[in-house]
Amino acid sequence: MTSLTLTVVEERFPVAGAFTISRGSRTEIRVVTVTLSDGTFIGRGECVPYARYGETVEGVIETIAGLKDDLARGLDRAGLQSRLPPGAARNALDCAFWDIEAKGASKPVWQLAGLAEPVTLETTYTLSLGTPETMHAAAKANAHRPLLKVKLGHDGDLERIEAVRAGAPASKIIVDANEGWSVEQYQALAPAFLRLGVALVEQPLPAGEDQALATIARPLPVCADESCHDKASLAKLKGRYDAVNIKLDKTGGLTEALELLSAARAEGFSIMVGCMLGTSLAMAPAFYAAQGADYVDLDGPLLLAADRDDAIRYDGAIMYPPSPRLWG
């Protein structure tokens, strides 16, 4: 068993302008950064505590710090999976474990995980919720991007998508309702959205109140986000959803994300790999989970005014593998 020392801190990064969804706006992000050291190598991980899931920065730091003695006594990544539930705290620690394991073995994470050598990915670019006029302007400014993700969840969503389509006539569009619709709204909007070239809607109904999706036609494919956390979630999603959004802050790290990915594919779900609004350190492990995904939504750093050193390279919509100096 390896004794590890733990450091856990809060860090803040500014958003480029403001980022708005149906639950509110942010001008900065607060992340929790974990560092594990064995005296020779260090591994890092980042998580973004999310109030929707009852998480706070302070609470996540307290949870992680509470494992200091366990880590010193040899708690490893396998043991972590049962020591903490899925969520942000386990994510930061799990990813730090992967990072230090890769450095200690002098092998990249993808080899340790038994994955194929990674290739570049094409990521979405997210447009914040706003008025049709502001969203039209944002779409026009990003009309060169092949895939736009549009935040919705309020009255007037059809007008918003009409404005986005006018601003970006060639872009593929997916929309995220953030649990903000009713069944009737989905049924009313789906045909119009299909005519406007929308390919997918994320989480139209509140998690826990999505049973109706199993009993209605879903002409516009529906992706589970808040309803999908780990592989144990899948049993309730069959028949209700066509796709799942895998986020490491929900799964509790790359370890469970890869398990969920395999199980979801076996069940026939389409795959999106997404993120909270985080830095390149949070995107790096998700990059490996996103290989071969149907939709890649790892644009967090593109929405920030400042990122970490050795940040992931983005060339327009193309996302490159992370540098080993950053992670993995």
Sign for the pseudo-dihedral over CA of 48, 50, 55, 56: positive
Of 48, 47, 50, which Cα lies nearest the Cα of 35?
47
Determine which one of 103, 151, 231, 250 is catalytic.
Answer: 151
Active site residue 107: no
Q: What is each CA distance from 91 to 57, 180, 278, in whole angstroms?
A: 13, 27, 13
**Residue 115 identity (one-letter amino acid):** L
146-165 as b/e: b if 16+ CB within 10 A: ebbbbbbbeeebbebbbbbb
Q: Of 216, 234, 232, 215, which is closest to residue 224 (Cα–Cα)?
A: 234
**Active-site residue, from 103, 231, 247, 250:** 247
CB-neighbour burial class of residue 297 (10 A; exposed 0-12, middle 13-18, buried 19+): buried
Query: Is residue 68 among the annotated active site residues?
Result: no
What amino acid positions are annotated as catalytic residues? Answer: 151, 247
